[in-house]
């Protein structure tokens, strides 16, 4: 009983000073990657397909290498999970999660709505999140108990006042291909019919708009942990509602292999979507 | 016969110096409206519904008032057509077309993908186009025989090399509501199924991405003349293909009342869409 109780007890809270220090350092790292990306974006860069048919550019690889090197230096012993290279220190209590370029397809086509994501997990729970959009000059950052900011502006997700306002909101979806991959294209098709203002603002751009309350909710399916861990910490801290509708395990139980289908944003808008899609 | 021939002959070409001068002045005006919009965006602003149920903000009205005053001063005798106020000097040979905020729905929700559009018509044909996106710091501008730029960078729309590349392109659509209003929601629904990378990048943001070749084509239906006149001049000058699939007259024959359904971008991508939608 004692052992079982221990296993099930929530993790010790992380001291606020530890979180603040980690957040400040992570912001510094994203200032560095922003410069790297802005400079590389002006030039030609190479891209190729990965084994899973998704694209990777030279910039993705350079950014993840830089972040891994700096994080190992500044946070010795922490775990590392990133999109482009193998997991490190899997049993660590703290783990940094890296998406060097979230929106590689946008970057490849030079659509400026991509960014770099960092999240800190404590015993598997997301406690810090950062999303930097270099071409828009926007850094979303924050953490559990600390607050959430877009650059220096504090963010607080205000709910809609009632159901009548829900249809005036914008709802943002990932691309239809993600819903096809998740086996539920009807979620995309139904929502574009049920709501008059659906747009596909994917990746960290759409996630950031949800944090600002510019879109009422973000519906993003078939994500990996590096796509979603920052948003989970940020949305909850900003007073929004974050629902993981489904978590599907990958070919092994490593966190980098699982897929997540999530809906988040203003609480009443999220609830409306869950009801209309019969997910609640 | 002589009279009929005269009526059908193409208009005299506009002297290049006249176009260059108009383009330079118009760029100056959009620098002024950019500042106005950036400052207003930081503050609270009011919005209300118009008779057609679309939204207008204080910013739309202030920008159009400013542009009309400056254009009347700098181009006496020219016609003026704008989204928010009545047409002026309808019989003039040259007419400025104004969309003070293209993407008012985005502005209202503080999605930064809106902008100001100016176009110059010569005897009904679009000869200059400018689209300024204040929150992205991007000005697309150019004219017939002059070239096309994004800020200081010259733009040239490169076609895809063959059909195989078409499915790797991004295709951008207006919101589904526009296709519903145009009476053809199936155009939206079919394209999202037929092509793997469809995104709803509407308004001047999507139009600008097509000029840059970032998206292979833009499919935008149910537009008014102020939404589309700049893009027509810019896309053709940049070497892209611009097709008006359908022009529907409004409740009277004034140019501001007609609706346009257009497809434009890389020629082979535009042709592929026309074929797949059985529009060619």
CA dihedral A103, A41, A108, B243 (to 10 degrees): 110
- Among chain B residues, the shortest Cα distance to A191 is held by B176
Instruction: For strands B171-173 and B198-199, give the pairing.
Output: parallel
Q: What are phi and psi of A178, to 5 degrees?
A: -65, -35
Taking a C-beta distance cutoff of 8 angstroms, is the pair B90, B74 a contact? no
B189–chain A Cβ distance below 8 A for any pair: yes
> DSSP string of chain B?
-HHHHHHHSPPPPPPHHHHHHHHHHHHHHHHHHHHHHHHHHHS---EEE-TTS-EEEHHHHHHHHHHHHHHHHHSTT-EEEESSS--B-TT-SEEEEEEEEETHHHHHHT-S--EEEEEEEETTEEEEEEEEETTTTEEEEEETTTEEEETTEE---PPPSSHHHHTTS-EEE--HHHHHHTT-HHHHHHHHHH-S-EE---HHHHHHHHHHTSSSEEEEEEE-HHHHHHHHHHHHHTT-EEEEEEEE--SSS-GGG-EEEEEEESHHHHHHHHHHTT--
pLDDT in tens, B116-133: 999 999 999 999 999 999
Chain B residues closer than 8 Å to A222 by CB: none
ipTM above 0.85, yes or no: yes
Contact A192 B197 (CB under 8 A): no
Nearest by Cα to B230 from B64, B104, B119, B113: B119
Neighbours of A88 (CB within 10 A): 16
> Percentage of chain B with pLDDT > 70?
96
Q: What is residue A267's predicted lDDT score, i.e. its pLDDT? A: 98
Å between B115 CA and nearest CA of chain A = 15
For the sheet with B198-199, list strands across it: B198-199, B171-173, B217-223, B259-265, B241-248
CB contact under 8 A, B111 and A198: no
- Residue A2: predicted pLDDT: 38
| pLDDT > 60? residue A43 | yes
Confidence of residue A147 (pLDDT cuts 50, 70, 90): very high
- A chain contacts of residue B110, beta-carbon cutoff 8 Å: 212-214
List pLDDT tens digits, range B162-174. Answer: 888 999 999 999 9
Whether residue A6 has pLDDT greater than 70: no
Q: What is the mean pLDDT of residues B96-125?
A: 96
Inspect the interface and report whether the beta carbons of B215 and A109 lie closer than 8 Å: yes
Is residue B195 over pLDDT 60?
yes
Average pLDDT for A75-91: 93
Q: What is the mean pLDDT of chain B?
A: 93
Q: Please check the confidence at residue B244 and state whether its pLDDT lies above 90.
A: yes
Distance from CA of A136 to the nearest CA of B (A): 6
Beta-carbon separation of A170 and B109 below 8 A: yes
Whether this model's pTM surpasses 0.90: yes
Give the range among A82-91, A203-212, B212-221 with minimum mean pLDDT.
A82-91
Query: What is the per-residue pLDDT across B80-100, written as a single tens digit (0 to 9) for each?
Result: 999 888 899 989 999 999 999
- Give the separation between CA B201 and CA B210, rounded to whole angstroms: 10
């Amino acid at each position: 009983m004692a052992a079982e109780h221990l296993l099930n007890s929530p993790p010790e809270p992380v001291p606020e000073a530890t979180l603040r220090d980690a957040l400040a350092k992570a912001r510094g790292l994203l200032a560095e990657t922003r410069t790297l990306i802005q400079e590389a974006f002006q030039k030609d860069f190479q891209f190729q397909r990965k084994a899973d048919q998704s694209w990777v550019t030279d910039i993705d690889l350079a950014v993840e290498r830089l972040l891994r090197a700096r994080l190992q230096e500044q946070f010795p012993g922490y775990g590392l999970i990133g999109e482009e290279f193998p997991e490190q220190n899997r049993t660590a209590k703290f783990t940094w999660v890296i998406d060097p370029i979230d929106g590689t397809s946008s970057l490849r086509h030079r659509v400026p709505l991509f960014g770099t994501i960092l999240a800190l997990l404590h015993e598997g729970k997301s406690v810090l999140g950062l999303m930097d959009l270099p071409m828009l000059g926007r850094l979303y950052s924050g953490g559990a108990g600390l607050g959430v900011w877009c650059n220096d502006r504090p963010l607080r997700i205000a709910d809609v006042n009632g159901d009548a306002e829900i249809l005036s909101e914008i709802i943002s979806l990932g691309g239809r291909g993600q819903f096809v991959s998740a086996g539920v294209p009807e979620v995309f098709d139904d929502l574009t019919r049920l709501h008059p203002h659906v747009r596909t603002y994917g990746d960290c751009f759409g996630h950031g708009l949800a944090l600002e309350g510019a879109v009422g909710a973000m519906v993003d399916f078939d994500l990996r942990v590096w796509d979603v861990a920052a948003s989970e910490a940020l949305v909850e801290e900003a007073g929004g509602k974050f629902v993981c509708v489904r978590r599907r395990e990958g070919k092994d139980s490593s966190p980098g292999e699982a897929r997540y289908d999530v809906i988040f944003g203003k609480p009443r808008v999220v609830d409306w979507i869950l009801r209309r899609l019969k997910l609640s």
